[in-house]
Amino acid sequence: MNILLTGKNGQVGWELQRTLQPVGKVTACDHAGLDLADAAAVRRKLDEVRPDVIVNAAAYTAVDKAESEPEQANAVNAAAPALLAQEAVQRGALLIHYSTDYVFDGAKASPYVETDPTNPLGAYGRSKLAGEEGIRASGCDHLIFRTSWVYAARGANFLRTILRLAAEREELRIVADQVGAPTWARLIAEATALALRQALAERRHGRFESGLFHLTCAGETSWHGFASLIVASRGGLRVKTVTPIATADYPTPAKRPANSRLNTDAFRARFGLALPDWRDCLPLCLEEIPQ
Ligand SMILES: NC(=O)c1ccc[n+]([C@@H]2O[C@H](COP(=O)([O-])OP(=O)(O)OC[C@H]3O[C@@H](n4cnc5c(N)ncnc54)[C@H](OP(=O)(O)O)[C@@H]3O)[C@@H](O)[C@H]2O)c1
């Protein structure tokens, strides 16, 4: 079983390097080793690795920067997944890909299900939605996992930013009117490996069905709630107050959905997996970040 993993130094990609090991022979590429915006390089890599499974953890994830460089975001998030999907069809490979809560506008009052209408608020969300559509249109065997609010012990993420700022400042002012589920990259990678095992068995028995599933930790909070638990879980920080603020008080180039909650019933039903509460994952991840 040959597995080609892209984006190996990303939050999810890094964890996938480990969780995919027991499933097959993993060839893991970073950005320098495989630029997804280079179609010829992608085809060359596929010829070389001859993967049975392609796991695409690479993405253009700079949400605000995407507003000023949508072409770059589209090249990685829309064109590249479509190319990987077309190649997967020709090569009989299974494609696993990740998408985002940012395909929604956040106006719904309850958690989004997979079939809810999409309406991205920004260039990043539009590029990720186009990626989903390109994969679906190809007809390749695929699983797309939409996730949200990803953090890890390494990489650029909200958890690490809060730890840094909380060591420097006495007050943090954090947005309290966006809700979602902080999701540990390792949970995504472990759930992916288990889901992949099942998908491979289904394919062997000729009963695999492609699909899109929401995959996040259980529970919900605001960015303010997330920051508050991070600070409360760590001693020795300078910060004394975590003040809730409104999105309107923290303007960013890209608009974010107020409701990022994703309903994960379909994922849990299809793969028979439990998804832990975000509050249970956070301490496990914090354990790996030196004080
Ligand atoms: N982070 C979140 O909060 C979040 C939320 C919802 C969904 N997602 C989705 O979850 C998936 C994993 O996200 P993540 O948080 O692990 O992302 P990440 O940490 O930003 O990692 C993305 C990786 O993709 C690589 N990459 C960027 N452009 C590339 C290109 N042209 N060719 C090859 N590699 C390229 C980056 O390498 P360089 O850094 O070297 O460029 C980076 O290592 C993505 O599909 C993302 O859209 C993320």
Sequence spans of domains, the chain: 2-154+182-218+261-276
Task: Determine the average pLDDT of the residues in 259-276.
Answer: 98
Give the percent of the chain with pLDDT over 90: 98
How far apart CA 172 and CA 188 sit, in angstroms, is 28
Give residues (CB < 6 A) around ligand 1. 6-7, 9-13, 31, 34-37, 57-61, 76, 98, 100-101, 128, 147-150, 155, 185
SS3 call for 218: strand
Pairing of the two strands 2-6 and 25-28: parallel
DSSP state of 149: S
* Cα 60 to ligand 1 centroid, rounded to whole Å: 5
Place of tokens 């990303």: 10
DSSP state of 180: E
Summarised one tens digit per residue, pLDDT across range 70-91 is 999 999 999 999 999 999 999 9
Dmax (CA) for the chain in angstroms is 59
Q: Is 124 annotated in the active site?
A: yes
Q: Which of 61, 161, 178, 260 is the pocket-test mutation for ligand 1 (most atoms within 8 Å of CB)?
A: 61
How far apart CA 98 and CA 147 sit, in angstroms, is 7
Pairing of the two strands 211-214 and 141-147: parallel
pLDDT of residue 101: 98
Instruction: For residue 38, give the ligand 1 atom closest to its CA.
Output: 31
Cα 189 to Cα 70, 130, 145, 156, 238: the distances in Å are: 28, 23, 11, 17, 33
- Alpha carbons within 13 angstroms on the beta-carbon side of residue 189 total 23
* Cα 87 to ligand 1 centroid, rounded to whole Å: 21
Pull the structure tokens for residue 29.
């590429």
Residues counted in the chain = 291
Contact 129, 257 (CB under 8 A): no
Q: Which of 127, 150, 217 is the pocket-test mutation for ligand 1 (most atoms within 8 Å of CB)?
A: 150
Summarised one tens digit per residue, pLDDT across range 118-149 is 999 999 999 999 999 999 999 999 999 999 99
pLDDT of residue 35: 97
Summarised one tens digit per residue, pLDDT across range 55-65 is 999 999 999 99
Cα 75 to Cα 69, 117, 124: the distances in Å are: 10, 24, 11
How far apart CA 96 and CA 57 sit, in angstroms, is 8
The chain-wide mean pLDDT, for the chain, equals: 97
Give the global pTM.
Answer: 0.97
pLDDT of residue 166: 97
Instruction: For residue 97, give the ligand 1 atom closest to its CA.
Output: 45
Q: Is the pLDDT of residue 215 over 90?
A: yes
Q: Is the pLDDT of residue 170 over 90?
A: yes
Which secondary-structure segment (H or E) carries 98?
A: strand 94-100
Which among 194, 189, 181, 79 has a CA at the least distance from the CA of 137? 79
pLDDT of residue 147: 98
What is the band of 291 on the pLDDT scale with cuts at 50, 70, 90? confident
* Cα 146 to ligand 1 centroid, rounded to whole Å: 13
Which of 60, 112, 124, 151 is the catalytic position? Answer: 124
* Cα 31 to ligand 1 centroid, rounded to whole Å: 10
**CATH architecture, range 2-154+182-218+261-276:** 3-Layer(aba) Sandwich (3.40)
pLDDT of residue 269: 98
In this structure, the residue with its CA closest to atom 15 of ligand 1 is 11
Task: Determine the average pLDDT of the residues in 196-212.
Answer: 98
138 phi and psi angles, rounded to 5 deg: -70, -25
Contact 231, 172 (CB under 8 A): yes
Q: Is the pLDDT of residue 235 over 90?
A: no
Give the percent of the chain with pLDDT over 70: 100
